[in-house]
Amino acid sequence: MLRILDAKTGETVPAVPARRALTRVEVHVSGHDLTGLRVLLTADLLLRALELGGTPVLPLLTADRHQAELHAAATALGIRPFEDGRDLAAGLGEAQVVHVTARDAAVPGTGVTVAVAPAGGPDAHVLTGLADPAALRLALLDAPRGTAVRLAAGALDAAGRRLGRLRRSVAGWARSPSRPVPEKVRGRLREAWEDDLDVPGVLGVLRWMDDQPEIPDGARFETCAYADRLLALDLVRDLGGPA
């Protein structure tokens, strides 16, 4: 079961009280900047983790400004689409709710609140100049969401190179006969992302797997494909390319 740090209480609690009940994830963004993109990305991870656990979700975006820009940025970053407006949320009655917001922002209503530390560095419009926006997604995923991030010069290039290496490895592993995800690896992945959405921990499991020679290449491929259901880094993009 996914457990999350509730910013309202400072306690780690189940993200939702009932796994199979419809849950609305309300995302509160105040501007089109890197912090706003990090909030959207955290909400996307939460949606994916809840759905992997069997919880149906309805994502809602609350933003007073820059709605079009935020939706475009979300699409570029591989973030699931959000519905707009508070009216739809009000019509859902007493559905369980999780709020995702920037740290220290005021959030009305009841439910668990997931707080996201600020991110700084390039302007949010940097997405328009990226050949592969997934590099920005990886750079933001690489730090715990409670830790402030400042992307230094060259950080996106470094993330792009790292992502390229991983995709090439995945493409190479795909040429071997498929093998199931080893249970010990699956358990490590689930343990990480169900522990307060520890995505750096998920990425760490993929690095750890490289040092386990007993894991067949086919199982490495299936592991990355499974983890990518949460990460959404398009790790299988280079399948079928040149060896």
Could you read off the pLDDT tens digit of each residue along the chain, which spans 243 residues? 899 999 999 999 999 988 788 899 999 998 888 999 999 999 999 999 999 999 999 999 987 677 888 888 889 999 988 887 555 555 555 578 999 999 988 776 788 999 999 999 877 777 777 889 999 999 999 999 999 999 987 899 999 999 999 999 999 999 999 999 999 999 999 999 999 999 999 999 999 998 999 999 999 999 999 999 999 999 999 887 665
Q: What is the pLDDT of residue 86?
A: 54
Burial classification of residue 82, based on how many CB atoms lie within 10 Å of its CB (0-12 exposed, 13-18 middle, 19 or more buried): buried
User: Do 69 and 92 contact (CB within 8 A), yes or no?
Assistant: no
Residue pLDDT, tens place only, 50-69: 999 999 999 999 876 778 88
* Residue 190 CB partners (closer than 8 Å, separation 6+): none
Strands (E), 55-208: 57-62, 83-84, 96-102, 112-116, 119-120, 149-150
Annotate 82-107 with DSSP letters as a single string: -EE-HHHHHTTTT-EEEEEEETT---
- Biggest alpha carbon distance in the chain? 54
Gyration radius (Cα) of the chain, Å: 18
User: What is the pTM for the complete model shown?
Assistant: 0.92
* Residue environment code for 32-63, b if the CB has 16+ CB neighbours within 10 A, otherwise e: bbbbbbbbbbbbbbbbbbbeebebebbbbbbb
Give the whole-angstrom CA distance, residue 111 versus residue 76. 29
Specify the DSSP class assigned to residue 133.
T
Which of 107, 69, 52, 56 has the alpha carbon at shortest distance from 230?
52
The pLDDT value recorded for residue 205 is 97
Domain boundaries, the chain: 3-129+146-151
Query: CA 72, 81, 38 angle in degrees (round to 5)?
Result: 65
Tokens of 138: 């990886």
Residue 21 gets which letter from DSSP? Answer: S
